[in-house]
Amino acid sequence: FGLGFRDATGCETDGTGGQNFASPGKKGQDVITDLNSQAALIKKGVLVTVMVGQHDILEQYALVMAADPANRSAVLGSAKSVLEARGRALAGAVKAVTDKGAKVILVKTPNLSRSPFAIAEDSQAILDELSTAFNDALYINPEISRLGRMIAGVDTDRIAKITTSDSGYINGQAACASNLLFNAAVAAPHPLISDIDQRPRYCHALTLRSGVNPNRYVWATDRHLGTGAHEFIGSLAVNRASDQF
């Protein structure tokens, strides 16, 4: 489609025409609201990229872990039902976009079960169930499967669940050290970044763990994908779009 972003990105080589609505903390319903608010711009010749769901999953995960252990199984079942409903709602919104003639790149929410966060919490199985509940309701959905060449699906399991021995990528570890993610702009002692969603902004050469090549690490922080994973997903999206569109 040859579009850059119409908002100021600070990139000298960026094009114009596209618009970015991404922001930290967004959930599926927020994206649905964005799509509805831009309905007048969604038409034939427009490409919409959708990647959301991690905050829905983490929200429900927190509820499961806060439950009494005796009731945790029931709460997990309820959490999965909530995520399935949200996935279906988002699938409906994606179909509505294609009904207007626009095409969609739909990116599967990265499965959190192999994230450093899941490993530290010893909650890989629970996060796998929650991630799968949302993704299956969105991605493996009759509304989506019938869209044919109006949609290009991007399966992030190919990087988020990859094994180090098979790929050369390092999974299950964060590239950046959490104890170094501080805001140096604030007078010493520099405070650690308490807002987890802002931590990727502070994952850079000065906060990498010793000897780390960040492009080979799947995760930048304990729950945010790193540059290597984003590059992998971006390349996959380009290839899928080329195949479909």
pLDDT tens-digit profile of 160-212?
Answer: 988 766 678 899 999 988 766 655 554 444 455 566 666 666 677 777 888 88
In the predicted model, what is the mean pLDDT of the chain? 86
Residues in the chain: 245
- CB burial of 170-204 (b: ≥16 within 10 Å; e: otherwise) equals bbbebbbebebbeeeeeeeeeeebeebbebbebbe
Of 50, 49, 72, nearest to 61 (Cα)? 72
| Residue percentage of the chain with pLDDT more than 90 | 61
Residue found under tokens 């604030």? 186
Supply the pTM of this predicted model.
0.86
In whole angstroms, give the CA distance from residue 232 to residue 238: 10
pLDDT of residue 187: 47
pLDDT of residue 189: 47
| Residue percentage of the chain with pLDDT more than 70 | 82
Token couple for 213? 């090549």
pLDDT tens-digit profile of 86-127?
Answer: 999 999 999 999 999 999 999 999 999 999 999 999 999 999
Q: Is 36 helix (H, G, I), strand (E, B) or coil?
A: helix
